Structure 1
Amino acid sequence: MFTGIVQTTCKVVDIQKKEGVTTLAIHMPASLREGLVTGASVANNGVCLTVTQIDDDRVFFDVMEETLAVTNLSNLAVCDQVNIERSLKFGTEIGGHILSGHIQTMATVIEISSNDQHHNLKLQVEPQWMDYIFYKGFIGVNGCSLTVGQLSDTGFMLHLIPETLRMTNLADYKVGQQFNIEIDSQTQVIVDTVTRLMASKVNQS
């Protein structure tokens, strides 16, 4: 489990592609590696990955083909920065919202508006996901817990503060690139339950 509060960005220092699996080597500072062990879960751009090896200042993760197919980890290159969050510990303050690290879809950046006062992103997702995205609701974007801005039929706005830009890789993305998206699980359950109940009543009438 994760909170959606990205701790820092870390550099991809190596990518090894093998049949059925890709191994990512991520450079992590000592403060972030403290207490980290093989088998631990770490969110990389919001994707829950298992630590397979720790070698000095590098941490290794194996990414399966299915994960690569549905996330932007497949687009990573050496020297790219990824958002990193260690798994949630009991007693830790939850400043965002609970995330599982399981990505449902990706959103494409279709417009960027940025100056000294703001950094706004307009994102587009496949229409069926808009059933779960609400104005002022929560959403996970590359592992960041963010508040949804204005909605359209096929997407939504993000209004990012300077601290979010400083701590994450969101400002690095250009028009046409894709973010990993995790829908708020409670919202999805509520919407799906109401939809089923309404369909059941219609069928009974």
Structure 2
Amino acid sequence: MFTGLIEGKGIIRRLVPQGQGFLIEIESEFSLGDTQIGDSIAVDGICLTATKVLEKKFTAQVSPETIARTTLKIKKAGDEVNLERALKLGASIGGHLVSGHVDATGKIINISKVGDYYLFEIEIPQELSPYLIPKGSIAVDGISLTINEVSSNKFALMIIPHTYKVTTLSSKKIGDFVNLEVDMIAKMVYQWAKPYLEKLSSQRGKEITLDFLKNHGFL
């Protein structure tokens, strides 16, 4: 489990084919001295297991499923990535709960400067839109961010200068792809409520009210 607060960046040094997957070697800009073999590290929001650890370098195995679902399929040696080690039990959660299980990739369709801030617009697969709300949370390349606006096929984020500087967002361009993980609580609530929403949509004149929520155990 992670928080979406990036510890620092890393650089992919090697991608070595292994069967249908590959071995990835990443050099970190911060010390990995207390990281052990078997520990989880989020790489651009992708939960990977360290198979070898040095002072500032680690390797991990990447499965075919991870390659197919994430931006790792288009990464190459020399690319920068965001890094975060797993949350320790009892530590402060400054972002939001992030599992490291990427739901889909999104495409950056606009970047504009607003004073000292940066507005990013990201195009998403249609199936993710039910889980996104204004002021809700989302992990973009492992970064815990707050959604500003949402439409059926895109959402917008306002990036503060600190986040822009210390993550890979500073090197992103229009047309680049990013890993997306929607808020797991939003996913669970939506799946819980989905049967009731579908029932309501088939009945004209029905609305979700406080009484409806109480009667169905939501309040």
- Residues 195 and 30 of structure 1: is their aligned pair in 2 closer, same or farther, counting only changes over 3 Å? closer
With structure 1 as the length reference, what TM-score do the two structures score?
Answer: 0.93
CA distance in 2 between counterparts of 1:140 and 1:167 reads: 15
User: Does the alignment pair 1:122 with 2:100?
Assistant: no
Q: Deviation at 1:116?
A: 5.3
RMSD, aligned CA: 1.8
Match of 2:105, SS state, is strand
Q: Deviation at 1:202?
A: 6.8
CA distance in 2 between counterparts of 1:25 and 1:115 reads: 36
Match of 1:149, SS state, is strand
Q: Deviation at 1:198?
A: 3.0
Q: Deviation at 1:176?
A: 1.3
CA distance in 1 between counterparts of 2:10 and 2:108 reads: 22
Q: Deviation at 1:55?
A: 4.0
CA distance in 1 between counterparts of 2:82 and 2:68 reads: 19
CA distance in 2 between counterparts of 1:20 and 1:185 reads: 29
Q: How many residues align?
A: 204
In the alignment, what sits opposite 1:51?
50
Percent identity, aligned pairs only, is: 30
Contact 2:15/2:23, CA 8 A, preserved across alignment = yes
In the alignment, what sits opposite 2:2?
2
Match of 1:98, SS state, is coil
CA distance in 2 between counterparts of 1:147 and 1:54 reads: 33
How do 1:56-135 and structure 2 match up within 5 A?
57-114=56-113, 117-135=116-134
In the alignment, what sits opposite 1:152?
151
CA distance in 1 between counterparts of 2:174 and 2:201 reads: 43
- Residues 38 and 136 of structure 1: is their aligned pair in 2 closer, same or farther, counting only changes over 3 Å? same
| Unmatched tracts of structure 2, length 5 or more | 205-219
CA distance in 1 between counterparts of 2:83 and 2:154 reads: 25
Q: Deviation at 1:45?
A: 0.3
Contact 2:23/2:61, CA 8 A, preserved across alignment = yes
Q: Deviation at 1:200?
A: 4.6
Match of 1:146, SS state, is strand
Match of 1:194, SS state, is helix
Match of 1:159, SS state, is strand
Match of 1:198, SS state, is helix
Contact 2:52/2:58, CA 8 A, preserved across alignment = yes
| Unmatched tracts of structure 1, length 5 or more | none
Q: Deviation at 1:115?
A: 6.0
In the alignment, what sits opposite 2:15?
15
Q: Deviation at 1:123?
A: 0.5
With structure 2 as the length reference, what TM-score do the two structures score?
Answer: 0.87
Q: Which amino acid aligns with 1:64?
A: S
Match of 1:187, SS state, is helix
Larger of the two Rg values belongs to structure: 2
Q: Which has the higher contact order (CA 8 A, sep 6+)?
A: 1
Q: Deviation at 1:66?
A: 0.8
Q: Deviation at 1:58?
A: 2.0
CA distance in 2 between counterparts of 1:56 and 1:87 reads: 17
- Residues 154 and 204 of structure 1: is their aligned pair in 2 closer, same or farther, counting only changes over 3 Å? closer
